[in-house]
Structure 1
Amino acid sequence: MTDKVLILGGSGRVGSCVAADLANHTEAEITITGRHLASSQLISDRLGSQVQFQVLDLAETEKLEDAIASSNLVIHCAGPFHYRDANVLRTCIQKGVNYLDVSDHPSFTRKAVASRDDAIAAGVTAIVNTGIFPGISNSMVRHDVEQFDEPERIHLSYVVAGSGGAGITVMRTTFLGLQRPFEAWIDGKWQMVKPYSNRETIAFPAPYNRLGVYWFDMPEAFTLAETFPVKTVITKFGTLPDFYNHLTWSVSHWWPASWLRNPNVIEFLAHVSHRMTRVTDKFTGIGVAIRSEVTGRKNGNVARYCSTLVHENTAVAAGIGTGSLAQLLLDGKLKKPGVWPLEQALPTDLFEQTMQSRGVKIQRGWMP
């Protein structure tokens, strides 16, 4: 029988890229959902006959349950996840349907993994934080950690050019991440860190080269610390062109906290930023760069290992990250009942195979 995949929020930029990756690499029947018919129907038409569109709002509980029950795999792409509960995941567990999402906020990750025991009992494999970052970045770190006898420190940096091709949602996510300080695992203890602080210049591969990155609240900040026996996990983010970083820093440090917790202010900032990137995208592109650096002990000596990845389109890269996992689940090559962040579920050998099949190149090596 043909596998049926339901992509919630599949008419968005990232969701449609996930659908495109699945259409290219599987024979599954794919249904993408959205709240509006006209533009979403155009997207499904562009993706071909393998992809169908269904009007669906996540608030329509019965309709959502029916759609999940008739699927073999559900992929949740309807962000931002700051506002989401884990109802879709819980419904998948109740219906015995495997689950993926592109969630990118720690609050949602914690809600999701709370259902781990229920998923194990139901035999459901659920993986959260897939995509590009978090997602492919987590698997890069896992590979790097595995090179050490005693890993001690993880430094994970990301940079996105302009909008990243991901639309206004990525703008909302950025400003929502400025709302409050967060915990980071530093020197073996949890410490509070202010978002968009501690600028650090990182050497990314061309064409990004040396760029500034800042502390940013990501699920990896705690999932990597829980997964690997390290003393420090650093997660930093930056944008191109660099003046966006300075604008974001000023919002984070100078604007009253009450403003940043006002949904209307977040929407205003997101829309203004999106209009700005429509101009700058023409000059900067919409790509992404990731750099993973792990420090630890190898054969008794202190050593550093680094992995880097560059992709010309951030949304397409996210589609590859999630689509490759979906393919593994549909093919029966990945099965781990429970709810897991990516680095706890995907073995490195399978990660390597899927990246090679999609032509994604990751540069790696020991550092001086």
Structure 2
Amino acid sequence: MTDRVLILGGRGRIGSSVAQDLATHTQAEITITGRSPAIEKTGSLLLEKPVQFLMLDLAEVDKLRKAIAQSNLVIHCAGPFHHRDTNVLQLCIEQGVNYIDVSDHRSYTIKALSCHDQAIAAGVTAIVNTGIFPGISNSMVRQGVEQFDNPEKIHLSYLVSGSGGAGVTVMRTTFLGLQHPFEAWIDGKWRLVKPYTDREMINFPSPYGRSGVYWFDMPETFTIPRSFPSVKTVITKFGSVPDFYNYLTWMAANIFPKWLMQRHNMIEFLSYVSHFMTDITNPFSGIGVAVRAEVTGQKNGKIATYCANLVYENTALASGCGTGSIAQFLISGKLKKPGVWPVEEALPTDLFMEAIQSRGMQINHTLAD
């Protein structure tokens, strides 16, 4: 029987990257959705295999319920997720259909995880925050944590060149993340942190080298302390290439009036201007991503540090690899874990490494006292 996968928001840059990964690594029948009539080009990618298209707005609940009921797996790529409800997830649980999303905000993650017991009762495996960061980054942390007797500190650093190959939605996500201070797990306590502060210079692999990153609210800041209770500090920082984008983002976070940054029109204006600017700089900066996961803890009675680095030439495609690989494992039956989970709790390291290798990605890591 052919597996049927429904990708909500599948015509966007991230959604089409997920569709491409699935078309490459599975035999699934793929249906993508969009709110306007289909066009020949799906996002920025032309898929090797044909996909079906369904015009669908998430507010059309009856139509959405029917589409989910006709699927074996639903992948939710219709962001931003800052103000999304969990209706899609709840409909999947109601219909007994497995669920994945590319959500990237704490508020949505908290709401999704609250459906955990319902998913267990329905036998539904639901995995949130898949993609590159969060997603592959979470699995890099898990791999590091497993090297220690007692992991204590996790430092995640992300760097994206230009637009990252993503669309305006990702730009919206960035500016929405600048609106409010957020809680970070530091020295065993939740402490309030201002976004895009505390610039730190990190040594990334070539071609990036030493680059600046800043505090940024990510779901990992919330889920990793829950997943690994012995960890006392979790730091998540983000930066852009070229560096002048960091200064513009810092200004938006720290100089622009808060009331202005909380207006929808302002977010839209900044998102479209930023995307226009990256269209100009992408040919020079590239659209790649670097992820650095550093774990410090006790191993054999000594303090040691594990550091893992991943570099990929296209951020959107990397996100497709992260989400697509988890979808592949769910479809094949290699991954089955009823409940609602963040990636680091759902995906075993052996499957993660299988996904990385099969997609031509490489993680370099070191472990030092």
By the TM > 0.5 criterion, same fold? yes
Tell whether the 8 Å contact from 1:126 to 1:337 is kept in structure 2 after alignment: yes
2:214 maps to 214
1:327 maps to 328
Output one character per residue of 1:159-209: Cα deviation in whole Å (capped at 9) or x when no partner. Answer: 000100011111101100000000000001000000000000000000011
1:351 maps to 352
Amino acid of the residue matched to residue 272 of structure 2?
A: H
Q: Distance in 2 between matches of 1:19 and 1:282?
A: 25
Shift of 1:49: 4.2
Tell whether the 8 Å contact from 2:309 to 2:363 is kept in structure 1 after alignment: yes
Tell whether the 8 Å contact from 2:6 to 2:75 is kept in structure 1 after alignment: yes
Q: Distance in 1 between matches of 2:83 and 2:161?
A: 25
Could you list the runs of 5+ residues in structure 2 that have no partner in the other structure? none
Tell whether the 8 Å contact from 1:139 to 1:348 is kept in structure 2 after alignment: yes
1:58 maps to 58
1:13 maps to 13
Tell whether the 8 Å contact from 2:38 to 2:53 is kept in structure 1 after alignment: no
Q: Distance in 1 between matches of 2:42 and 2:58?
A: 19
Shift of 1:43: 2.0
Could you list the runs of 5+ residues in structure 1 that have no partner in the other structure? none
1:284 aligns with 2:276: no
Q: Distance in 2 between matches of 1:49 and 1:302?
A: 50
Q: Distance in 2 between matches of 1:221 and 1:154?
A: 10
Q: Distance in 2 between matches of 1:315 and 1:212?
A: 21
Amino acid of the residue matched to residue 87 of structure 1?
A: N
Aligned pairs for 1:157-196 (under 5 A) are 157-196=157-196
Aligned pairs for 1:36-115 (under 5 A) are 36-39=36-39, 41-43=40-42, 46-115=46-115
Deviates more, 1:202-211 or 1:42-51: 42-51
1:316 aligns with 2:356: no
1:31 aligns with 2:13: no
Tell whether the 8 Å contact from 2:105 to 2:219 is kept in structure 1 after alignment: yes
Amino acid of the residue matched to residue 74 of structure 1?
A: V
Q: Distance in 1 between matches of 2:57 and 2:208?
A: 39
Amino acid of the residue matched to residue 192 of structure 1?
A: L
Amino acid of the residue matched to residue 78 of structure 1?
A: A
SS of corresponding position for 1:78: coil
Aligned residues: 367
Shift of 1:42: 2.7
Q: Distance in 1 between matches of 2:244 and 2:208?
A: 15
Amino acid of the residue matched to residue 41 of structure 2?
A: L
Output one character per residue of 1:64-108: Cα deviation in whole Å (capped at 9) or x when no partner. Answer: 110000000000000010121110000000000000000000000
Report percent identity of matched pairs. Answer: 68
Tell whether the 8 Å contact from 2:153 to 2:295 is kept in structure 1 after alignment: yes
Q: Distance in 2 between matches of 1:243 and 1:225?
A: 33
Output one character per residue of 1:217-276: Cα deviation in whole Å (capped at 9) or x when no partner. Answer: 000001001111211000000000000001111111111111111111100100110110
Tell whether the 8 Å contact from 2:38 to 2:55 is kept in structure 1 after alignment: no
Shift of 1:38: 4.1
SS of corresponding position for 2:82: helix
Aligned pairs for 1:233-244 (under 5 A) are 233-244=234-245
Deviates more, 1:155-164 or 1:253-262: 253-262
Amino acid of the residue matched to residue 280 of structure 2?
A: V
1:227 maps to 227
Q: Distance in 2 between matches of 1:313 and 1:53?
A: 25
Q: Distance in 2 between matches of 1:347 and 1:203?
A: 28
Amino acid of the residue matched to residue 324 of structure 1?
A: S
Q: Distance in 1 between matches of 2:337 and 2:32?
A: 25
Tell whether the 8 Å contact from 2:96 to 2:124 is kept in structure 1 after alignment: yes
Tell whether the 8 Å contact from 2:23 to 2:49 is kept in structure 1 after alignment: no
Aligned pairs for 1:146-157 (under 5 A) are 146-157=146-157
SS of corresponding position for 2:19: helix
- TM-score scaled by length of structure 1: 0.98
Q: Distance in 2 between matches of 1:212 and 1:222?
A: 23
